[in-house]
């Protein structure tokens, strides 16, 4: 089963060093390794808008973030 990971979990994993979120970060890491994570466009956009530093964007986001499947937000609407 694929899992849609919402913005706050990505933000914790990408931007925080607080140990209080380690359980969520570990779960996200597990899901990524299992290739069960997907995104919808609005979540990707929220995450990308948080990177105003071009070096961080080019360094991490370009190399690691774009390989996740993006499913159209309206795909589940019938």
* Across 23-36, average pLDDT: 89
- Closest to 67 measured CA to CA, from 41, 45, 27, 38: 38
Q: Which residue range forms the structural domain that includes residue 25? A: 3-76
Of 13-17, 26-30, 35-39, minimum mean pLDDT range: 13-17
pLDDT at 3 over 80: yes
What is the pLDDT at residue 30?
Answer: 93
- Copy the structure tokens of residue 21: 């979120």
Q: How far apart are CA 66 and CA 36, in angstroms?
A: 15
CA 67 vs. chain centroid, Å, equals 11
- Tally the domains of the chain: 1
Mean pLDDT, the chain, as a whole number?
79
Count CB-CB contacts under 10 A for residue 76. Answer: 9
């Amino acid at each position: 089963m694929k899992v849609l990971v919402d913005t706050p979990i990505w933000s914790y994993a990408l931007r925080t060093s607080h140990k209080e979120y380690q359980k969520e970060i570990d779960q996200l890491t597990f899901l990524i390794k299992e290739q069960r994570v997907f995104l919808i466009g609005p979540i990707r956009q929220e995450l990308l808008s948080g990177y105003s530093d071009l070096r961080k964007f080019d360094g991490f986001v370009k190399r690691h973030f774009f390989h996740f499947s993006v499913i159209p937000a309206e795909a589940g609407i019938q």
